[in-house]
């Protein structure tokens, strides 16, 4: 099989997993709906029997008998209805339980492939939409719809003219539904786009609460939100105008049809073609026949939303690259290298770094320096497998990084990104990468990050709950906990992106000590340094400038020949001092 066909097959299998088992449940539900719909003829039959049999014969026992019969049938219908709604509720929950983790995993992956945070979070809400659809009235209407012919046949059986009238009504109402769909399709898509923009504005404003308050631009931030909100409301109004108008028209049409059935029935009865009981029965049955259409129109928005949500989830699942199958390789112990890699930003497709070659042996540490915007953090992402590399390979002991699966990677890499966010759980779990903490390893990592004493000084120690992004800690404390997380479990490769940006002298020493101890245990460190203190313990230095590794080699050589790595005409005072310090380090 070709590679392409194999990929397609895998993708199809992934999509099939979403709806796995749904067909049989769907058929079962359809069957139950059929019984409910057949039983729904009870009322019509009862009317006919009352008018045409009980009243004509004047027999009380007959009346009692048909009443008891009708009562029994109603009871069965009720029970079936309860069963159906319970099944629907459970199916909704089961569906949610099954796909929510996959979809969540997808939203974790999506930002790496260039989707915005809002788009990623929206996928989670789509699961809610689908669950609500499955357990709500919209799906009930759709399940009833195929059974409409039962009532139409019944009405036809009473009189062909009445049947024709009801079918005519059904056709008109169906056309109305289709027209609604066509008229609102575009608008509904715009509405959901506007809704997602609005929530991303709201989220950004809440996240930047400190900045907004300190610089006093609450009003402008509110205006930004209010513009997004207005746009959403306007779009929603125009879409719901159409839906409501169509809904009202269909309701009036249905009432007119109801009366028309009565009128036509009376006319046919006067002519002697029908009995009085049949008029009532026809009216009841035709109303029942049209109800699912009415319901479908009323719930149209939900149906369309669910359809879009399903389509989007399917599309995203199909678009996500496969996690290849892996042979379990041994944990690397020798080397970490990048062979002529080209790194592209997934969001923009722009080439950020070209032709970067780095080779490090166990026990080495590389310091990366260079002007900001040069591509240091991007290189770190590519080395850590966060961003896929366009060309070239990142290798561990000569095997390409992509040969390791996610679970294995967690023991190989430690990564402290430039902008990290702590999780809303205990300090111990934050350090243990959300797993059940192994106390010994947690403490070892905290000590290596020089944060153990600070943690045990807190009232709850390692069990301290951090809150959203560790809001009850200082920036430096957060950074050191993140450093401990990167060191947890003695990973072979430790990637540190400006680990000392928030740290005091003590913290800087902790970073230096951490680099030293990783090297001593035969690990590899790559550290991006803005301040020279982090370079104390490295033996290799690389300078990244404008997307290229312009200098790379032993620290003693590099720091001698490249005193000022930054291409500038007039260095600012602070930067000149930093450059001088950097020189001093070498």
Binding site for ligand ADP (CB under 6 A): 345, 347-348, 352, 372-378
- When CB distances are held under 5 to 8 angstroms depending on the partner's kind, the choice from Mg ion, ligand ADP, none that residue 184 binds is none
DSSP letter, residue 563? S
Shortest spacing between CB 360 and ligand ADP, in angstroms: 19
Comparing CB distances to ligand ADP, the nearer of 117 and 153 is 117
Comparing CB distances to ligand ADP, the nearer of 374 and 437 is 374
- When CB distances are held under 5 to 8 angstroms depending on the partner's kind, the choice from ligand ADP, Mg ion, none that residue 71 binds is none
Q: With H, G, I as helix, E, B as strand and everything else as coil, classify residue 165.
A: helix
* Residue 231 CB partners (closer than 8 Å, separation 6+): 194, 197, 198
Shortest spacing between CB 530 and ligand ADP, in angstroms: 9
Q: Tell me the sheet residues that pair with 541.
A: 367, 553
Among the listed ranges 88-96, 363-371, 416-424, 448-456, the one in contact with Mg ion (CB under 5 A) is: 416-424
- CA 171: distance to chain centroid? 39
Q: With H, G, I as helix, E, B as strand and everything else as coil, classify residue 262.
A: helix
Among residues 33, 283, 377, 500, the one that binds Mg ion under rule CB under 5 A: 377
Comparing CB distances to Mg ion, the nearer of 177 and 418 is 418
Among the listed ranges 45-53, 143-151, 312-320, 411-419, the one in contact with Mg ion (CB under 5 A) is: 411-419
Using CA atoms, how far apart are residues 46 and 71, in angstroms rounded to an integer?
A: 10
Distances in whole angstroms, Cα of residue 320 to Cα of each of 91, 182, 315, 404: 26, 30, 9, 18
Shortest spacing between CB 564 and Mg ion, in angstroms: 19
Shortest spacing between CB 288 and ligand ADP, in angstroms: 57
Comparing CB distances to Mg ion, the nearer of 269 and 418 is 418
- When CB distances are held under 5 to 8 angstroms depending on the partner's kind, the choice from ligand ADP, Mg ion, none that residue 145 binds is none
For Mg ion (CB under 5 A), the number of binding residues is: 2
Among the listed ranges 131-139, 280-288, 375-383, 554-562, the one in contact with Mg ion (CB under 5 A) is: 375-383
- When CB distances are held under 5 to 8 angstroms depending on the partner's kind, the choice from ligand ADP, Mg ion, none that residue 378 binds is ligand ADP
Comparing CB distances to ligand ADP, the nearer of 133 and 387 is 387
- CA 509: distance to chain centroid? 41
Comparing CB distances to Mg ion, the nearer of 285 and 541 is 541
Among the listed ranges 312-320, 377-385, 423-431, 529-537, the one in contact with Mg ion (CB under 5 A) is: 377-385
One-character DSSP codes across 443-474: HHHHHHTT-HHHHHTSTTGGG-B--GGGTTS-
Comparing CB distances to ligand ADP, the nearer of 374 and 392 is 374
Shortest spacing between CB 297 and ligand ADP, in angstroms: 44
* Residue 323 CB partners (closer than 8 Å, separation 6+): 405, 406
Shortest spacing between CB 509 and ligand ADP, in angstroms: 24
Shortest spacing between CB 343 and Mg ion, in angstroms: 13
DSSP letter, residue 426? B
Shortest spacing between CB 107 and ligand ADP, in angstroms: 16
Q: With H, G, I as helix, E, B as strand and everything else as coil, classify residue 337.
A: strand
- When CB distances are held under 5 to 8 angstroms depending on the partner's kind, the choice from ligand ADP, Mg ion, none that residue 554 binds is none
Comparing CB distances to ligand ADP, the nearer of 131 and 551 is 551
Among the listed ranges 74-82, 222-230, 245-253, 370-378, the one in contact with Mg ion (CB under 5 A) is: 370-378
Comparing CB distances to Mg ion, the nearer of 235 and 369 is 369
Please give the structure tokens belonging to residue 162.
């009445």
Q: What are phi and psi of 240, to 5 degrees?
A: -75, -20
- When CB distances are held under 5 to 8 angstroms depending on the partner's kind, the choice from ligand ADP, Mg ion, none that residue 347 binds is ligand ADP
Q: What are phi and psi of 458, to 5 degrees?
A: -75, 150
Using CA atoms, how far apart are residues 380 and 254, in angstroms rounded to an integer?
A: 65
Contact 458, 488 (CB under 8 A): no
Shortest spacing between CB 377 and Mg ion, in angstroms: 3
Using CA atoms, how far apart are residues 358 and 346, in angstroms rounded to an integer?
A: 22
Comparing CB distances to Mg ion, the nearer of 316 and 377 is 377
Shortest spacing between CB 375 and ligand ADP, in angstroms: 4
Q: What is the CA radius of gyration of the chain?
A: 34
Comparing CB distances to ligand ADP, the nearer of 89 and 530 is 530
Contact 426, 463 (CB under 8 A): yes
Query: Residue number with the shortest CB distance to Mg ion?
Result: 377
- When CB distances are held under 5 to 8 angstroms depending on the partner's kind, the choice from Mg ion, ligand ADP, none that residue 450 binds is none
To the nearest 10°, report the CA torsion of 18, 20, 21, 24. Answer: 90
Shortest spacing between CB 429 and ligand ADP, in angstroms: 27
Comparing CB distances to ligand ADP, the nearer of 306 and 538 is 538
Contact 423, 430 (CB under 8 A): yes
Please give the structure tokens belonging to residue 359.
């080779």
Q: Identify the H or E element spanning 58.
A: none
Among the listed ranges 32-40, 220-228, 413-421, 545-553, the one in contact with Mg ion (CB under 5 A) is: 413-421
Beta-carbon neighbour count of residue 364 at 10 Å? 19
Shortest spacing between CB 501 and Mg ion, in angstroms: 9
Output the CA torsion sign for 253, 257, 258, 259. positive
Beta-carbon neighbour count of residue 218 at 10 Å? 12
Using CA atoms, how far apart are residues 184 and 180, in angstroms rounded to an integer?
A: 6
- When CB distances are held under 5 to 8 angstroms depending on the partner's kind, the choice from ligand ADP, Mg ion, none that residue 215 binds is none
Contact 291, 152 (CB under 8 A): no
Question: Which positions touch Mg ion (CB under 5 A)?
Answer: 377, 418
């Amino acid at each position: 099989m070709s590679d392409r066909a194999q990929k397609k097959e895998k993708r199809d299998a992934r999509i099939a997993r979403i709806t796995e088992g749904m067909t049989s449940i769907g058929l079962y539900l359809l069957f139950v709906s059929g019984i409910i719909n057949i039983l729904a003829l009870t009322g019509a039959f009862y009317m006919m029997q009352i008018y045409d049999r009980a009243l004509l014969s004047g027999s009380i026992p007959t009346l009692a008998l048909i009443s008891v019969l009708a009562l029994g049938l109603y009871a069965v219908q009720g029970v079936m209805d309860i069963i159906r709604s319970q099944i629907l509720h459970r199916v909704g929950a089961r569906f949610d339980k099954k796909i929510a983790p996959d979809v969540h995993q997808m939203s974790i992956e999506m930002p790496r492939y260039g989707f915005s945070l809002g788009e990623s979070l929206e996928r989670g809400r789509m699961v809610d939409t689908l669950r609500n659809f499955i357990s709500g009235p919209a799906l009930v209407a759709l399940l009833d719809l195929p059974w409409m012919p039962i009532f139409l046949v019944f009405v036809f059986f009473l009189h062909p003219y009445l049947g024709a009238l009801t079918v005519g009504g059904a056709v008109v109402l169906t056309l109305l539904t289709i027209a609604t769909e066509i008229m609102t399709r575009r608008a509904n898509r715009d509405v959901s786009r506007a809704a997602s923009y609005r929530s991303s504005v709201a989220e950004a404003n809440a996240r930047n609460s400190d900045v907004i308050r300190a610089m006093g631009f609450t009003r402008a931030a509110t205006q930004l939100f209010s513009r997004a909100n207005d746009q959403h409301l306007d779009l929603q109004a125009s879409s719901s105008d159409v839906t409501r108008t169509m809904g009202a028209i269909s309701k009036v049409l249905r009432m007119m049809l109801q009366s028309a059935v009565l009128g036509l029935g009376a006319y046919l009865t006067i002519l002697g073609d029908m009995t009085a009981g049949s008029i009532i029965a026809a009216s009841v049955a035709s109303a029942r026949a049209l109800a699912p259409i009415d319901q479908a129109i009323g719930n149209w928005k939900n149906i369309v939303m669910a359809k879009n949500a399903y389509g989007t989830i399917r599309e995203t699942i199909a678009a996500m690259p496969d996690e290849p199958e892996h042979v379990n390789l041994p944990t690397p112990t020798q080397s970490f290298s990048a062979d002529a890699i080209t790194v592209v930003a997934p969001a923009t497709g722009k080439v950020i770094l070209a032709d970067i070659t780095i080779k490090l042996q166990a026990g080495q540490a590389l310091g990366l320096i260079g002007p900001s915007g040069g591509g240091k953090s991007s290189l770190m992402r590519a080395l850590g497998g966060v961003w896929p590399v366009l060309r070239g390979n990142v290798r561990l002991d000569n095997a390409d990084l992509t040969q390791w699966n996610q679970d294995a990677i967690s023991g190989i890499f430690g990564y402290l990104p430039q902008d990290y966010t702590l999780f809303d759980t205990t300090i111990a779990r934050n350090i243990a990468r959300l797993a059940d903490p192994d106390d010994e390893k947690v403490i070892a990592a905290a000590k290596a990050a020089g944060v153990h004493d600070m943690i045990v000084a807190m009232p709850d120690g390692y069990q301290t709950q951090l809150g959203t992004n560790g809001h009850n800690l200082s920036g430096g404390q957060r950074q050191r906990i993140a450093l401990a997380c990167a060191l947890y479990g003695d990973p072979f490769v430790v990637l540190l992106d400006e680990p000392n940006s928030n740290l005091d002298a003590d913290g800087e020493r902790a970073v230096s000590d951490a680099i030293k101890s990783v090297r001593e245990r035969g690990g590899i460190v790559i550290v991006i340094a803005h301040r020279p203190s982090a370079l104390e313990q490295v033996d290799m230095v690389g300078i990244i400038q404008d997307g290229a590794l312009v200098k790379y080699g032993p620290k003693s050589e590099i720091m001698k020949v490249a005193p000022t790595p930054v291409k500038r005409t007039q260095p600012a005072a602070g930067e000149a001092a930093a450059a001088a310090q950097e020189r001093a380090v070498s």
